[in-house]
Amino acid sequence: MGSQFKISVLMACLNPGGYLQAAIDSCLSQEGVEVELIVVDDGSTDGTTEWLMTLAAQNENVHLINGPGTGPGAARNRALSIATGDWVAIMDADDLMHPQRLYKLVELANKAGADISADQLLAFTEGTDARTTWPFIKAILSVQGTPVSLATLLTPTDGGFGSDLGYLKPVIRRSFLDAANVRYDEKVRIGEDFDFLARLIAEGAHLIVSGIAMYFYRRHSASLSYRLNSMDADALIVANKRFSDVYAEKIASIKPLLAKRTKALSEYRGAVRLVEALKAKKIRDVAIIVFSVPASLLIFGRFALEGVKKRVMREDDGATQSPFPAGTVRVSPEILIQARPDELDIETILQIILPLSQADAETKKRFQADLGGAFWAGYLF
């Protein structure tokens, strides 16, 4: 499979620790495409900068930018400013990709006439919890690709303002990106990918999402998405207002959704402030917040549950040398080989990929030998 496309992969990192090398390896191992990896080290203090400098000096496909620590949006904009690919891909520094992912997403976009393509995320953790992997996007996605509208993107999937589609890691046609002149909002540090994607679609981009999970989304306690303060919440509200001011009248169908999102964001900010007031033992402020934003108390309850989950994740992180606990594989190599990647749906992920990812090292090794160079080998982590 010769290289037909050049793709610039934008990766922002801040103290990624031991996750970074695996992320970069999976990026540089992409098949059928020419990869230009642009890493913005956004002020790391864990030795990442020195390691990246050595890597960039040894690999002409890796470019390093030392950032000032101003957040992921600013980092990605800096990477985009020097990107030379026909396509732009977004990747986090602690995640993984299947080796054929970028090629297949460009192929999907070209076939559908889309400006943006993405895929189901296979989320995974590295603790002792028996459930280590799961399809992250709740929407029903066709293996042939499902078009996603702006209204669908803006429809919350968490009962509040959030949509799991905002976590997509898209591949974007560079010509559209430049014509639309859309860049990341550098003041948004949490949810910046959602805001960026929403503005691209609002400018007319056609997004198609495959049900094939080729992006492996690592969930761990140090993820930036777990940390939200009132300043981040304020930035989300400002970005949402700016989006509403520009697009609500132009695209009438999204006006009610934006009104609901505005209300939900305000309630969410109230809950964040409630947490901060409780931590600071400012009882008067707690009373004012609960009185003025009653829904903040309910959201605070959700925060408490998330806090328990994070504590469990911290206890589990690094608890075992094997990334996944031992499990039983019930699927033969013949079935895997016969099931083509473009026939993979969520049920197949649950029945095939999950047992494989939970297998012990010896079983994985045996399956890799049986599968040879088949597509599925990359799913064995």
Domain annotation for the chain: domains and CATH numbers: 5-224 (3.90.550.10), 230-316 (no CATH), 333-380 (no CATH)
Neighbours of 315 (CB within 10 A): 12
Per-residue pLDDT at 151: 95
In terms of pTM, does the model score above 0.85?
no
Per-residue pLDDT at 149: 95
Q: How far apart are CA 248 and CA 229, in angstroms?
A: 27
Per-residue pLDDT at 314: 44
- Which pLDDT band, with edges at 50, 70 and 90, does 246 fall under? very high
Q: What letters, b where the CB count within 10 A reaches 16 and e where it falls short, cover 102-116?
A: bbbbbbbbeebebbb
pLDDT in tens, 77-110: 999 999 999 999 999 998 988 888 999 999 999 9
Nearest to 358 by CA among 381, 333, 326: 326
What does DSSP assign to residue 350?
I
Instruction: Supply the mean pLDDT for the chain.
Output: 79
pLDDT in tens, 339-348: 554 444 444 5
Q: How far apart are CA 13 and CA 43, in angstroms?
A: 8
Taking CA 62 as the corner, what is the angle to CA 56 and CA 63, rounded to the nearest 5 degrees? 80
Of residues 334 and 27, the one with the higher pLDDT is 27
Per-residue pLDDT at 19: 86
Neighbours of 191 (CB within 10 A): 25
Q: Which helix (H) or strand (E) holds 7?
A: strand 5-13
- Which pLDDT band, with edges at 50, 70 and 90, does 125 fall under? confident
Tokens standing for 185?
């909002």
